[in-house]
Amino acid sequence: MDYTGEFQGNALPLGLAFGMAMDEQAIDHYGKMTEYEKEKVLAESKNVKSKEEMQQLIQKISDGDSIV
């Protein structure tokens, strides 16, 4: 099952948006990312194939770990 749930152009995939909505620190770190870093997060989120993988990605963002 694909947990990205893209619904429009460059918008955040649903799984990523909903997951970050539950983690204020992830939202804060994402907001401080450069456009390049955000593009990398979006690209990685499109490869996510499970809820657990999406949670791991969100945790990396929340922890401030580099996605690049």
The answer to whether position 25 is within a domain reads yes
Q: According to DSSP H, which parts of 1-68 are helical?
A: 14-21, 24-31, 35-45, 51-63
Q: Which residue in the block uniquely carries the two structure tokens 């990396």?
A: 60
Structure tokens at 14: 């649903």
Question: Which residue segment(s) compose the domain that 39 sits in?
Answer: 14-63
| 54 found inside a domain | yes
pLDDT reported for residue 6: 44
pLDDT under 50: residue ranges of the chain: 1-8
Burial class (CB in 10 A: 0-12, 13-18, 19+), 9: exposed
pLDDT in the model for residue 65: 86
What does the CA dihedral 21, 43, 46, 12 come to, rounded to 10 degrees?
30
- Angstrom distance (rounded) from CA 7 to CA 4: 9
Give me the number of domains the chain comprises. Answer: 1
Kindly state whether residue 7 falls inside one of the protein's structural domains: no
